[in-house]
């Protein structure tokens, strides 16, 4: 007969993690050796290599990671984690209930009957199944294939349904950054419309209720240069193609958008990245905050273009009669 696990899932999850507050500047290796009763460097390195150490809720394997006062270091008792490597996504956070990843553009979130190519879902499934064939991951939400950035996957069905059913209450902050065509007229604003798919699955927007889903997007213009704008977008609702359609509504479509754009594509990709995700853990209730840098390719579009040097002839130029 199987032993019944003691305590709630939240109690078991918290019991599996020890949290330490950083009170003075230190390297992670030194901090671990001091806090864990003078463990050896070999033991500390083992904790790091087995991905059992998190700094500010991010798995950290670098022994010389610089710690600052106010940070939190968490050590998991779960020793079953394997090293994760993939050129298509980064594993940002992992615990017994969920995974947070940073997906590259061009990678599908999950496959369909028609699309059997490699996906974020299949890559993560292969990873967790190295610890046991019965293990698997569950998709919680999706990013478009050509959108990069932060995504959450669940490790069990209960966690998946909790995240999906209470998504609006659980997610505290969800933001994207985009490069759009043309220079935005306003520094900030809000777009509200109703989104509905037509018969060929193209989403269209109506400023009055057309029976579709109400969508609200808040935007802030970060920079304007070279005929582009760098815009930060905060979703109040998470509808299909919401950002892309709303930027089209403003006549500043996301560059590289084949479906809702204007043909401008200097990067050879959709310039949309999910850079910030803050949510309450569906089991422990802890607030988890994740942020990735703006893609470097986006920033390059805003570098000041060199002006052509005036031709030096050594002689004074006389004005021409026109």
pLDDT score of 224 more than 90: yes
Cβ neighbours of residue 183 closer than 8 Å, sequence gap 6 or more: 224, 227, 228, 229
To the nearest 10°, report the CA torsion of 212, 217, 221, 224.
-20
The residue from 95, 102, 113, 144 that is catalytic is 144
Which letter, b or e, does each residue of 57-91 get, where b requires 16 or more Cβ atoms within 10 Å of its Cβ?
bbbbeebebebeeebebbbbeeeebeebebeebbb
Strand segments (E) across the chain: 17-21, 26-27, 53-55, 58-59, 66-67, 72-76, 89-94, 98-103, 138-139, 148-154, 171-181, 188-197, 203-206, 213-225, 228-235, 272-280, 287-291
CA distance 277 to 273: 11
pLDDT, average across residues 215-239: 95
CA distance 150 to 279: 12
**Which one is the CATH code of 82-165: 3.30.2350.10, 3.90.1300.10, 3.40.50.1100, 3.40.30.10?**
3.30.2350.10
pLDDT, average across residues 71-93: 81
What pLDDT is recorded for position 172? Answer: 93
In the 8-state DSSP scheme, what is residue 254? B
Please, are residues 172 and 287 in contact by the beta-carbon 8 Å criterion? yes
CA distance 94 to 91: 7
In the chain, residues under CATH classification 3.10.290.10 are 9-81
Output the average pLDDT for the chain: 87
What pLDDT is recorded for position 38? Answer: 73
pLDDT, average across residues 12-32: 86
Q: Using pLDDT thresholds of 50, 70 and 90, give the confidence band for residue 254.
A: very high
Bridge partners, residue 12, by sequence: none
Q: Using pLDDT thresholds of 50, 70 and 90, give the confidence band for residue 320.
A: very low
pLDDT score of 319 more than 50: no
* Structure-token pair, residue 221: 């213009």
Give the closest residue to 146 by CA, choosing from 322, 295, 305.
295
Question: Is 249 in the active site?
Answer: no
Reported pTM: 0.79
pLDDT score of 77 more than 90: no
In the chain, residues under CATH classification 3.30.2350.10 are 82-165, 172-302
Q: pLDDT exceeding 90 applies to what percent of the chain?
A: 58
Q: Using pLDDT thresholds of 50, 70 and 90, give the confidence band for residue 6.
A: low
Per DSSP, the three-state class of 3 is coil
Per DSSP, the three-state class of 132 is coil
Give DSSP secondary structure letters for 202-243: -EEEESS--SSEEEEEEEEEEEEETTEEEEEEEESS--TTHH
Residue 33 CB-density burial (10 A; 0-12 exposed, 13-18 middle, 19+ buried): middle
CA distance 43 to 83: 17
Maximum mean pLDDT: which of 89-98, 264-273, 309-318: 264-273
Report the CATH architecture of 172-302: 2-Layer Sandwich (3.30)
pLDDT 10s digits, 145-165: 999 999 999 999 999 999 999
Please, are residues 238 and 164 in contact by the beta-carbon 8 Å criterion? no
Q: 10 Å Cβ neighbour count for 160? A: 20
Evaluate whether the domain defined by 9-81 bears CATH number 3.10.290.10: yes
User: Strand 171-181 and strand 272-280: pairing?
Assistant: antiparallel
């Amino acid at each position: 007969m199987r032993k019944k696990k003691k305590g709630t899932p939240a109690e078991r999850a918290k019991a599996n993690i020890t949290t330490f507050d950083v009170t003075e500047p230190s390297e992670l290796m030194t901090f671990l050796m001091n806090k864990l009763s003078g463990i050896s460097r070999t033991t500390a390195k083992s904790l790091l290599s087995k991905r059992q150490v998190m700094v500010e809720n991010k798995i950290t394997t670098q022994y010389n990671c610089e710690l600052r006062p106010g940070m939190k270091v968490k050590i998991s008792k779960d020793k079953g984690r394997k090293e994760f490597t993939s050129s298509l996504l980064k594993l940002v956070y992992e615990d017994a209930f969920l995974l947070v990843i940073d997906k590259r553009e061009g990678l599908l979130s999950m496959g369909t009957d028609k699309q059997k190519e490699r996906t974020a879902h299949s890559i993560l499934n292969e990873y967790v199944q190295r610890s046991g064939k019965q293990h698997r991951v569950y998709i919680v939400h999706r990013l478009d294939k050509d959108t990069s950035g932060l995504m959450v996957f669940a490790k069990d069905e209960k966690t998946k349904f909790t995240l999906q059913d209470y998504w609006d209450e659980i997610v505290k902050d969800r933001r994207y950054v985009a490069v759009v065509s043309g220079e935005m007229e306003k520094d900030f604003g809000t777009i509200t419309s109703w989104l509905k798919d037509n018969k060929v699955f193209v989403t269209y927007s109506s400023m009055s209720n057309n029976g579709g889903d109400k969508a609200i997007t808040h935007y802030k213009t970060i920079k304007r240069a070279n005929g582009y704008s760098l815009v930060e977008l905060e979703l109040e609702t998470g509808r299909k193609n919401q950002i892309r359609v709303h930027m089209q509504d403003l006549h500043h479509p996301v560059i590289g958008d084949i479906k809702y754009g204007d043909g401008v594509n200097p990067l050879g990709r959709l310039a949309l990245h999910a850079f910030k995700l803050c949510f309450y853990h569906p089991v422990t209730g802890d607030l988890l905050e994740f942020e990735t840098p703006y893609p470097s390719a986006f920033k390059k579009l805003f570098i000041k273009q060199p002006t052509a040097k005036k031709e030096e002839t050594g002689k004074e130029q006389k004005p021409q009669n026109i």
